[in-house]
């Protein structure tokens, strides 16, 4: 039972355009969502997060949108740069104070390629 | 953000042996986690290691196979015991500070 799903294994975008990576979840107990970027042979690098009480969070070129009713979140990267080429993982955590707090459930990842 | 280091960065081990992976954090943290990424797969949580208490393991992972120590708020070890080729993975420690941060990983190959 995959509770966090990234249905697009890969995405190819032209430099300067917008990259949109999508993520769906099924567990309504998830309360906090994070996006990570991962290069081969390195650990995941934290990008941006969002709490379930918000529907949008922005940090520079990265914006995460959360649609709680649809159990869907997306990461927008604008403008995309060749250095953004990596695997992107979304992850979800349970509520603060709960037994699953801090325990991340990851999606399968989306390989983003940004062409010059 | 927390700075996390892991040792070794990679190793090749023979089946039936054990390997201990070290994780060092540059600040004191309460919550520390160990994850595994098998080839071509996503990251899966192995266990939570909080200082002062026994590690708690996720479904499919047991203490005899993956014993964990957490002697203080900046250090933890994960041992992969009696290894088989199926244990070939990247093992990552992470900490929950303002966000959850990950170490660089230990790439383990079992032959």
pLDDT value of residue A41? 81
pLDDT of residue A59: 97
Chain centre to alpha carbon of residue B52: 18
Interface contact B100-A106, CB threshold 8 A:
no
Query: Which one of B93, B102, B105, B106 makes the best mutation probe of the A interface by having the most chain A beta carbons within 10 Å?
Result: B102
Task: Measure in Å the smallest separation between the Cα of B82 and chain A Cα atoms.
Answer: 24
Share of chain B above pLDDT 70, in %: 100
Instruction: Return the pLDDT at A50.
Output: 96
Find the residue in A nearest to B89 (Cα).
Answer: A41
Distance CA A92, CA B20 (A): 28
User: Which parts of B14-85 fold into alpha helices (H)?
Assistant: none
* pLDDT (tens digit per residue) in A11-40: 999 999 999 999 999 999 999 999 999 998
pLDDT digits (tens, 9 = 90+) for B11-54: 999 999 999 999 999 999 988 999 999 998 999 999 999 888 88
Q: Give B99's pLDDT tier (boundaries 50, 70, 90).
A: confident
CA nearest neighbour of A101 among B100, B103, B62, B71: B100
Q: Is B33 near chain A, with CB under 8 Å?
A: yes
- The per-residue pLDDT for A17 is 98
pLDDT grade for A105, boundaries at 50, 70 and 90: very high
Q: What is the pLDDT of residue A2?
A: 82
The nearest CA of chain B is from the CA of A1 a distance in Å of 13
- B72: contact with A, CB 8 A cutoff: no
CB pairs < 8 Å spanning A and B = 51
pLDDT (0 to 100) of residue B1: 76
């Amino acid at each position: 039972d995959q509770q966090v799903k990234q249905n697009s294994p890969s995405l190819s975008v032209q430099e300067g355009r917008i990259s949109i990576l999508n993520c769906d979840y099924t567990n309504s107990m998830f309360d906090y969502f994070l996006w990570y970027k991962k290069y081969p042979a390195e650990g995941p690098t934290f990008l941006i997060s969002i709490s379930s009480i918000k529907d949008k969070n922005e940090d520079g070129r990265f914006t995460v949108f959360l649609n709680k009713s649809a159990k869907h979140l997306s990461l927008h990267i604008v403008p995309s740069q060749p250095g953004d080429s990596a695997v992107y993982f979304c992850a979800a955590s349970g509520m603060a104070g709960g037994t699953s707090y801090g325990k991340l459930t990851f999606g399968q990842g989306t390989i983003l390629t940004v062409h010059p | 953000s927390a700075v996390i280091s892991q040792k070794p960065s990679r190793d090749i081990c023979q089946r039936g042996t054990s390997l201990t992976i070290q994780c060092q954090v540059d600040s004191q943290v309460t919550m520390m986690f160990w994850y595994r990424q098998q080839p071509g797969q996503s990251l899966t949580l192995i266990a939570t290691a909080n200082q002062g208490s026994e590690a708690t393991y996720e479904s499919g992972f047991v203490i005899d196979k993956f014993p964990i120590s957490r002697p203080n708020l900046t250090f933890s070890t994960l041992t992969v015991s009696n290894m088989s080729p199926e244990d070939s993975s990247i093992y990552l420690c992470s900490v929950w500070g303002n966000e959850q941060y990950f170490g660089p990983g230990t790439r383990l190959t079992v032959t």
